[in-house]
Amino acid sequence: MINIIAAPLGWLMRWLFELTGNYGLTIILFAAATKLIMLPLSIWVQKNSIKMVRLQPQVNEIAARYAGDKDKAAQEQLELYKKEKYRPLLGVVPMLIQIPIIVGLINVVYNPLKFLLRLSADTIDALSAAAASALGVETLGAAGQLITARMAQDSAYASAFSAVSGSGAREALAKINALDFRLFGLDLSQTPSLSEASWLLIVPALAALSSLLLSELQNRFNVLQKEQKRKSQTGMTLFLTLFSLAFAFLVPAAIGVYWAVGNLAAILIMFFVNALIPPKKYIDYEVLEASKKTLESAQRAQKQSGPTREQKKRAKADYKRFFSPDNEGKELVFYSVKNGFYRYYKDLIERILAESDIVIHYVTSDANDEVFSLASERFIPYYIEGNNLIYFFMKLDTELMVMTMPEIEKYYYKRSLVRKDIDYVYTFHAMVSTHMIYRTGAFDHYDTILCVGPHHTAEIRETERVYGLPEKRLVEFGYPLLDDLRESYELLEKKDSRFQVLIAPSHHDGNILDSCIDGVLNAVMGRGWRIIVRPHPQYMRHNSGRLAELAQRYSDCSDVEFETDFSTNDSLYTSDLMITDWSGISMEYSFTTLRPCLFINTPMKVLNPEYEKINLEPIQIKIRDKIGVSLNTDETQRLTDVINDIKNGRILTKDDIDKIVKDTVYNVGSKGAAGSDYIIGEINRRRSAGSNS
């Protein structure tokens, strides 16, 4: 393989040597020639690099939006690259090509008798054997031809070579004696060494200094490299400089000269392609800088919102406590993503505790979850996050596991590897449909679904039919949170007499916060209304930087506030109007207050591209115009007129909305009794089966 690479390089070296008659000049011209040959590739890389930097604001926006979700950010970035036909690996192609060139060049330099002088293999073998015999060794190693050439040029070994017979031997020795390895008095066939002080040490120094100069200039003028962080630039500069220095001490000085000249040629080519294809012509650097600040803000916010060192220790300790040998025999486990999700479990848990002897183990990934204040002998909370959470799911040993988190088994969090008969129970944290805003197969690996209403039952059964899935246990559960909301709403007194507007977007791409929040706020601000922006918990989790930037932007607006505490629903109860897009909270609001919603037609939230295979209209589309009014994103100037219509009762009556509630939700007012009855009954059934066995 090396010979295949070395052959054309040897031909080029031979041609340059015949042209110049000077070995050192041949090396210099060879370095320049290889860079010139690679010029079209350098131009190609320049175009690709410009495309990368031009895309960087979008990449930064993605990274800021999903600051808490690296997998999602990587997926979105890959989609962007595919859309723009950008090849991120193209930038390393010159380096990859340089490697075989260097390998081939080393072979050429180590074998001058073969590649430069074109001696026959038999002649080379005969001369090498004579050199080895004179030195009293069997072989000369990888540098055999260089050693042979230097010995043949040394009169002290003339007698050893005079004995070489065969045709061409004398002519070969004449060619060798005519070969001058020197450049400015330096023997380029020799390998520099720190053990021997000589002018040859200049070569490693030149290789290192040229690498340092190239790296520093690339950090300032290379379209892609100058966008790297200074820490990365410094690290790469230091690495390349030290590598060049060390490398030049391992190979003949000819290769060190090639390296230094190649670096200098690369500098000239960089300036040439910058002049030929100027980056400033294609890149908006002001937009780029703004995106960097947004990303930095998001990263700071994410870092601040992440667990502290003490919390990590606590999570580790709780993980050990959960799996302690003294804590075996768990029958029922609940898992919560963060604080505020307890409200979806509250009625289930309270009824289970009141009507059974079951001990509930409640795992949360929020160190500040309110549930820790509820701890008792039969309600035991744990804080588990990070990698320990992945292991928690893998090692779980219980009878029933209740969650509001879809997509188990699809990503990080798997069904237990320890126990195969766990009943995984899913309960919804929104009343929306199952087949459009949840990803494909989001519920495939659950055993039991606590259904909110007839739409869930129909959708899951149709999904099972379309995909040939086994039937799950479906419980006509309802939505106990709605019962709690309606009770609290009846008792709550509004403290602020001002008209209150709640802006509650979803977390999907293109939601109100990402598409038209400025237009919405500009339409409702300055009218004496109290305006509350309540982002979706998942948006806050994955887009904390974007949220922090918005809050900062409107920090001087006294009538606008951003609500990020999801442990209370006061703003949901007390608001006179909700503005949303495709969030399921619209039904919570309208079904609780019996007031209409104002919908903004942002891009529809579709996480399942196959949702149309389920021939049922999603409830969030079906019900949209039954409980409110919709406006397009470019119609925000009409918000005031529509809001006034809602204020004056010209849209829908309370009786109209109440009838929709009863048609949409199972067992309104039962507080999810069917769900707790199922859980208690299933655990009792398993207990009975265990005692009988």
316-330, 332-346, 397-411, 554-568: lowest mean pLDDT where?
Answer: 554-568
Q: What is the rounded end-to-end Cα distance, in angstroms, of the chain?
A: 69
What's the pLDDT at 166? 65
pLDDT confidence band for 3 (50 / 70 / 90): low
Other residues' Cβ atoms within 10 Å of the Cβ of residue 169 = 19
90-94, 227-231, 551-555, 686-690: lowest mean pLDDT where?
Answer: 90-94
Other residues' Cβ atoms within 10 Å of the Cβ of residue 682 = 19
What's the pLDDT at 167? 59
- Whether pLDDT at 563 is above 80: yes
How is the chain split among helix, strand and coil, in percent rounded to 5?
A: 60, 10, 35
* Interval 423-439: pLDDT, tens: 999 999 989 999 988 88
Please, what is the Cα angle at 401 between 620 and 342, to 5 degrees?
A: 60
pTM summary value: 0.61
* Interval 625-646: pLDDT, tens: 889 888 888 888 888 888 888 8
Contact (Cβ atoms closer than 8 angstroms) between residue 27 and residue 207: no
- Whether pLDDT at 112 is above 80: yes
pLDDT above 90 as % of the chain: 39
User: Cα separation of 29 and 94, whole Å?
Assistant: 19
- Whether pLDDT at 94 is above 70: no
- Whether pLDDT at 277 is above 90: yes
Please compute the mean of the pLDDT values over residues 12-27 and round it to a whole number: 84
Contact (Cβ atoms closer than 8 angstroms) between residue 69 and residue 411: no
The more confidently predicted of residues 594 and 572 is 594
pLDDT confidence band for 38 (50 / 70 / 90): confident
- For residue 448, the cross-strand partners are 425, 473
Residue pointed to by tokens 């031009």:
54
What's the pLDDT at 527? 87
User: Alpha helices of 398-470 — where are they, by DSSP H?
Assistant: 454-467
- Whether pLDDT at 674 is above 60: yes
Please, what is the Cα angle at 316 between 310 and 321, to 5 degrees?
A: 125
Instruction: Pick the closest to residue 256 from 27, 100, 32, 37 (CA basis).
Output: 27
**262-275 CB burial, b ≥16 within 10 A, e <16:** bbbbbbebbeebee
What's the pLDDT at 304? 67
Q: Which two tokens stand for residue 347?
A: 């009625």
* Interval 487-502: pLDDT, tens: 988 887 767 778 899 9
- Whether pLDDT at 305 is above 70: no
For residue 448, the SS3 value is strand
Report the DSSP pairing between strands 400-403 and 379-383: unpaired
User: Cα separation of 333 and 331, whole Å?
Assistant: 7
- Whether pLDDT at 2 is above 70: no
pLDDT confidence band for 203 (50 / 70 / 90): very high
- For residue 400, the cross-strand partners are 332, 423
